[in-house]
Amino acid sequence: MTKELYGHFHPDEHHFVDKAWEWVERAAMQHTLKLTDFLDPRQAFILTTLVNRHPDVHCRFEGGYPAAERKRAIIAPDYRSLDDEDMGISVLSVSSGDGKFLTLEHGDYMGAILGLGMKRDKVGDIHVIEGGCHFLVTEDAASYLHANLSQVHRVHVQTELLPLDKLELAQVQLDELGLSVASMRLDGIVSDVYRLSRAKILIPIQAGKCRVNWKQEEDPSKPLKAGDMVSLQGFGRFKVLEVEGISKKGRIRVKIGKYV
């Protein structure tokens, strides 16, 4: 069955397609529940697509708060209610009393967790807040991180496990910029956003280091549209906030929001 679906997905996604279809089939045939680790929005889309192809299975997503980007899924036979199932999500609070958190960023926290041998899919959204950081993590990883995370980028930290209702959300900061572009091509807009030449941008795009709406995109000519989320490995990510219209010289005015 999954081989028939491969045409809808990027070759790099076929491994996840296989794994997700196995979860779906097991729920249908063996009447079991499967609680996944955290999925990114693209993986959640793939899983939803597969669940919708099977008449006897349904699933529920939960990321710890309504606007979560990364979510766990629970997959089950369609006769089983999932409303009250425990999704196994904990909040890990990281703090320091020495005021050095002003220099710590999302990547520093992520690096500290990966440095402990923790897989990325055990961690949900990361919220850098005043005085520290709140991680959403799977319950099975929470106690290990609580016991072992003692340093973030040379800053000594303390950790605490909190209930979900104590989660503090980061304020999303977007650095807005207006562009005047000849077309909505991916390579042109990315080169303008990061102020790199078109030639330099082609290398990471064609090497598979660019994602549009969490899907790997290797075609530099792909047209972008309002609402698209673009990430370039090593550079961060931005959102196409608005396509504002065409100037008298025939160029397209675009409003971009870079994540700070």
Indicate the class that CATH gives domain 2-77: alpha beta
| Lookup result for tokens 């081989």 | 3
Tokens of 214: 């969490």
Residue 11 class from Cβ within 10 Å (0-12 exposed, 13-18 middle, 19+ buried)?
A: exposed
What pLDDT is recorded for position 130?
84
pLDDT at position 193 over 90: yes
* Amino acid in position 95: S
Rounded CA-CA distance 72/122 in Å is 9
Of all helices (H) and strands (E), which one includes residue 64? Answer: none
What pLDDT is recorded for position 99?
58
pLDDT at position 167 over 90: yes
Sign, CA dihedral 66-69-70-73, equals positive
What pLDDT is recorded for position 71?
98
What pLDDT is recorded for position 8?
77
pTM: 0.84
% of the chain exceeding 70 in pLDDT: 96
Sign, CA dihedral 22-27-31-32, equals positive
Span 96-144, pLDDT tens digits:
766 555 578 888 899 999 999 999 999 999 999 888 899 999 999 999 9
Average pLDDT, whole number, for the chain?
91
pLDDT at position 259 over 80: yes
What pLDDT is recorded for position 155?
86
CATH fold of 174-259: 3.10.290
What pLDDT is recorded for position 145?
95
Q: Where are the domains of the chain?
A: 2-77, 89-166, 174-259
What pLDDT is recorded for position 89?
97
What pLDDT is recorded for position 158?
92
What pLDDT is recorded for position 102?
57
Q: Which CATH number fits domain 89-166: 3.30.70.2190, 1.10.287.130, 3.50.50.60, 3.30.70.330?
A: 3.30.70.330
Residues 217-223 have a mean pLDDT of: 95
